[in-house]
Every structure is written in structure tokens, then in C-alpha cells.
Amino acid sequence: MTRTLTAALAATCILAGAASPAHISPAYATSRIKDLANVEGVRQNQLIGYGLVVGLNGTGDTLNNIPFTRQSLQAMLERLGVNIRGQQIRTGNVAAVMVTANLPAFGTQGTRIDVTVSALGDAKSLQGGTLLVTPLLGADGNVYAVGQGSVAISGFQAEGEAAKIVRGVPTVGRISNGAIIEREIEFALNRLGQIRLALRNPDFTTARRIASAINDFIGTPTAEPIDPSTVQITIPQKFQGNVVALLTEIEQLQVDPDLAARVVIDERSGIIVMGRDVRVSTVAVAQGNLTVTISEAPQVSQPQPFSRGQTRVVPRTRIGVQEDGKRLAVVREGVSLQQLVDGLNALGIGPRDMISILQAIKAAGAIQADIEVM
């Protein structure tokens, strides 16, 4: 029997000095303010509702096991003038579902939105079902939309006596334009005297650059960065009562975003993502694989003929040690992201070992970046 034990040797890191500002490269591309920030108050709102899906081909909830489906079915029929209190109900064509949707900013009455329908009980599939009228509520408890329509699913389920197959998720479906907005959320944008831009990736430098770009465009100091995630704009006199025109001009301005150097590591999948501004000090890295091989070759010891000896099994063990990758690579001070990746790849290592090396370099203080492990 052969057993192979593989262990990654620890990376040797030598800190030599900090990166010089002269090595910091400029940004490579600009982005629109529209893609960097959102206007505070212009946002979506989540809606939720509870309803029933009917018309299923025997794949609905088991009413004896799911009491809320039975109670909902009875209440619905009573509202329609059918009294079945105390009666035995046996149907597999009804399923209780949760209905969710996003109410868009400035959504007007009569506008249709998409809804997602998810089974709540033990239904096997929502294929072919129809969602009955379902009020969709906001966080304040008010009804903002009403959903109804045929459910479309992407998964399916098929089964026989001895086997079954399930693809996708047949208990979750979607209804395109399945809800009608009944209530609007009032937001008088044109009456505002100030607006605030919320950065999607908070950063002091980016906020300052956005404010500078807006002030240069308008010609007066109207924009001011309040914190890393907020830029406040005082509406100029010529745009009073017409904030939409101001936002239309501002959101097209080009800004060079700046982000902190960061290395994101997903140890489960071995994924490593490095930002463009990641820099390292001069560091030497050694990596190798130690392979220990143990092989068993037992032999049989047979006694001489007509002797009083016994047949025995004599163990024979062979142990071999092999160390591969005896290489020492030097990563120079202030190298770029491409040079850092090339230097690590030159060691002939995989993503798993590279994660350990990056963490060892960070522990030595030789990498100027935050390491975030997912």
C-alpha cells in the first residue's frame, strides 16, 4: 500500500522597505458620476405579499400537512360566497406562496412591475399555476401594488415509480409585468434646495474629485464632500425648480475613481482578486512541495522442510522523501500588479498555495494592501 503525504512548505518573506510614492501608477480609466454614485432619495422599495397559486396539476400543497394553505383556501372561497367550513378538502392543485417585487423610484399608478413567486408549503412545482389577486405591501404596511397572473418557471420535475429528476428550482417562478402599482411614493425632487450623492464605493479621494468636477462644470462652489460616501450639492439659481436638468448634466461628468488597494481571497474556491494599486516591498519567497512516500511490501518467511518452524509474514517498509520546487524568487520593491502576478506564477504554484503566500507576505508587512478573506 502506498500513502502519499503532501505538505506545502511555508513561504519565507523578507521585508526590505516601503514602496516609494514614485511607483504609484495613475488610474487607467474614468467613469461617469452616474456609475459612481446614487442620488439620495431616488431608490427602489421592496414589496411583499402572501397569496395562492391555483391550477397546478397535482403538484400543490398537501392540505392535511399545510394548515395555512387550507385556511387561506377556505377564506378565499368564503369571500366568493362558497362556505366549506367543516368539510373535507382534498386537492393538490393549490399552493401557498410568498410574492415579492421591487417598487421602482417614481413608479406611477397603473405602471406594471415584475413579481417573483416562491412556494411556502410542500408544493413540488408551480408549473402551469396562476397567482390569484395578491396585495403587495411595503415596510409601512400599506398596499402599493397588486399582483396576479400566470407563473413561469425555469425548472422542472419528472418522476416515475423508481426514479425522479429535478432540474432548476420548480417551486420558484416569475410573472413578467405581474403587478400593477396602486400607490405612488411622493418625492418632490424639483422642489429640493439641496441634493446629496451617495457613493457606491466610499472613498475620500473619489468624493473630492466628484465635487471638483461638479464645481468646474457649474463654475461656482456648489458641491462639497461631507464624508467618504456623501457629496452635497446646493442647487444653483439657474437650476432652481429644474433639478432633473442639473442631474442630467452632472451624471455624465467623467471622474477618475480612486479605491484602496485590496486583495480579496475566497479560500473555498481558490479565487484571488487583486486591485490595480496593490504594491509590495522587496520580498523573497521560497515555496516547495514535500512528498513522503511509504510503501509496504511484506514477505512470507517459510521454514525448512521437516523443521519445527512456523510460516510467518515479515514486514518490509520503504520510505522515500522528495522535495520539489527548491526555488527562491525575489519580488522587487513597488512592482505593479502584473509583475507581482508574474513573480508568483514563476514559482509554479497553484491558487491554494498562492493564498498562503499572500497571507505570509501580509504578515511580514511587505504588502501595501488590505487582504479580505471571503
Domain boundaries, the chain: 2-25+262-373, 31-41+188-255, 45-181
Query: How far is residue 202's CA from residue 62's CA, in Å, rounded to a whole number?
Result: 50
- Listed as own residue / partner, the contacts of 318-324 with beta carbons closer than 8 Å and 24 or more positions apart are 318/293, 318/294, 319/292, 319/293, 319/294, 320/292, 320/293, 320/295, 321/290, 321/291, 321/292, 321/293, 322/290, 322/291, 322/293, 323/288, 323/289, 323/290, 323/291, 324/288, 324/289, 324/291
Residue 115 contacts residue 97 (beta carbons within 8 Å): no
Q: In a 3-state reduction of DSSP, which class is residue 140?
A: coil
Under CATH, which architecture does the 31-41+188-255 domain have?
A: Alpha-Beta Complex (3.90)
Query: How far is residue 264's CA from residue 232's CA, in Å, rounded to a whole number?
Result: 31
pLDDT the model gives residue 304: 74
Rounded mean pLDDT of 5-12? 34
The residue behind cell 396562476 is 130
Q: How many angstroms from the chain centroid is the CA of residue 190?
A: 35
Query: How far is residue 284's CA from residue 15's CA, in Å, rounded to a whole number?
Result: 8
Rounded mean pLDDT of 154-167? 69
pLDDT higher for 310 or 11? 310
pLDDT band at 323 (very low <50, low <70, confident <90, very high): low
The answer on pLDDT for 329 being more than 60 is no
277, burial (CB in 10 Å: exposed 0-12, middle 13-18, buried 19+):
middle
pLDDT the model gives residue 286: 65
CB hemisphere CA count around 138 (13 angstroms): 15
The answer on pLDDT for 84 being more than 70 is yes
Supply the pTM of this predicted model.
0.66
Rounded mean pLDDT of 95-115? 94
Query: How far is residue 295's CA from residue 318's CA, in Å, rounded to a whole number?
Result: 5
**Residue 24: how many CB atoms within 10 A of its CB?**
12
pLDDT higher for 155 or 274? 274
Query: How far is residue 94's CA from residue 72's CA, in Å, rounded to a whole number?
Result: 10
Tell me the average pLDDT of the chain. 80
pLDDT the model gives residue 14: 31
